[in-house]
Amino acid sequence: MPDGPLNSLMIQADRYAKDRPDDLGGIVDRYWQVVNKGRGTPIGEEAQRKVDNAMLVHEVRSQELIEKLERQMQDLVKAGKHQEAFEVWLAFPESWRSRELDREIIAIIQRTLPAGFRPRPPMSNQTPARK
């Protein structure tokens, strides 16, 4: 975000957050710019609250989606559809990923799929398995 008056930066950050609610990195980056420029001001404090809120919302939404995809995966494993079970994770948005979430997803995959399962690369024109 180009530098400018604090009010203008906050308006731009708010607009970005509204237009791209799934882009946690972009939202946090923009509010951090306001926090850093407005440190010790009411606008800076408001921006910090918005960073904290964005992180919390992201965490909650990520966990809800992980739980949903894990249930789908388990149903597919029970049906013997191991490749499709693996591919449910293609529905997890790239922009939501973090090192911690990747570790959690890998642990779910390892404990849910049969030992020795080796996934085939998903076909690029194939959509992820959904229920």
CA-CA distance, 41 to 3, in Å (whole number)?
17
pLDDT at 131 over 50: no
Cβ partners under 8 Å of residue 13, min gap 6: 1, 27, 30, 31, 33, 34, 47, 50
Render pLDDT for 37-91 as a digit per residue (tens, 0 to 9). 999 999 999 999 999 999 999 999 999 999 999 999 999 999 999 999 999 999 9
Render pLDDT for 22-42 as a digit per residue (tens, 0 to 9). 888 899 999 999 999 999 999
Distance linking the first and last C-alpha atoms of the chain: 40
Q: What is the pLDDT of residue 94?
A: 87
Question: What's the whole-model pTM score?
Answer: 0.75
Name the band, by pLDDT with cuts 50, 70 and 90, for residue 129: low
